[in-house]
Amino acid sequence: MMRMMTRVLSSPSSHVSSLTYSPRRVIRASRDQLHAQTVKSHHLPSGSSSTSLCSCGRKHFLEAASPTMPFLPIYSPNASRSEDVSETFHPQRPDWYKELFAWFLSTGMRSYEAEIADYKRKLFEKLAGKAETVLEIGVGTGPNLKYFASNENVCVFGMDPNHKMEKYASESAREAGMKPENFRFIQGVGEAIPLDDDSMDAVVATLVLCSVSDVSQTLNEIKRVLKPGGIFLFIEHVAAKDGSFFRHVQNVLDPVQQVVADGCHLTRNTDLYISAAGFDGGTEINNTAIYSFPWIIRPHVYGAAYK
């Protein structure tokens, strides 16, 4: 029986009407340069009005100079900047690899998603009525979007370094019944989230922290973009117990896993990273095993952390 922590988040604060890319705690040279380009090309002029585009009532401003952009969702849509930042942190793969990996996630994870559905359902209940702006790191093909569909007031920003995921994630949003304006795919990485400080009610990561290049930096970025009282939900596979046969096999196979699974590590103690991240509102971490996964990826942790 899954034990979950009950906590009521504070009411969402007033909407963010004019947010810009905010670089901090990352490689300063690359991000500051990119930020300067963004401000020059995409800064909203003083006095410009903001327009409500999400049914959640959050007000995002239009890109005045680009009528083809439907809206500017708390980040710069500068494609070259997003790609440059992603390349700084994420292993570089050819397009055929990115497409193949996206296809595999869309077709090869169904048994896993079926087994873990109850865990996710109870975990995502923590957001009901409390979160209107949500960032999902490593949105992939969008298997979690169906858990948001019942909330007409939620706006989800799905971030992934692999741009090939966008068509799958967008289709998942449509199949889940989400309004088009309530889901936005953005290309980016967890170590350099292209969103403002204190801009998100919730951040979600499922099977993501195993593959980021810097777990601590990603968790710092998550805390940065969360509003005070905001919630971070996670489900991650982790390293087996030290000294166990499973851990020995993980150690042997870890280099291969990183190549075939887009940077995924088998031997990360992600739960220890989350515990040490310093979420002021508290952290709850639960352990379980998922049997539809290969046995070397069976140990899982799940839970919530509060800013």
**What confidence tens digit (pLDDT) does each residue in 63-76 have?**
333 333 334 345 54
pLDDT digits (tens, 9 = 90+) for 203-239: 999 999 999 999 999 999 999 999 999 999 999 999 9
Residue 56: which of 162, 130, 167 has the closest Cα?
130
Residue 301 sits at φ, ψ, to 5 deg, of: -125, 150
- Contact of 43 with 72, CB cutoff 8 Å: no
35 alpha-carbon distance from chain centroid = 21
At residue 67, the pLDDT reads 35
- Contact of 266 with 297, CB cutoff 8 Å: yes
Residues 6+ away with beta carbon under 8 Å from 213: 89, 90, 91, 189, 191, 263
- Distance separating alpha carbons of residues 104 and 120, to the nearest angstrom: 21
In this prediction, residues 250-257 reach a mean pLDDT of 90
Task: State the sign of the Cα–Cα–Cα–Cα dihedral 40, 16, 167, 230.
Answer: positive
Residue 291 sits at φ, ψ, to 5 deg, of: -90, -15
At residue 234, the pLDDT reads 98
At residue 98, the pLDDT reads 87
At residue 15, the pLDDT reads 34
At residue 88, the pLDDT reads 61
At residue 90, the pLDDT reads 61
Instruction: Look at residue 294 and tell me whether its pLDDT is greater than 80.
Output: no
Q: What is the pTM of this model?
A: 0.73
In this prediction, residues 152-158 reach a mean pLDDT of 93
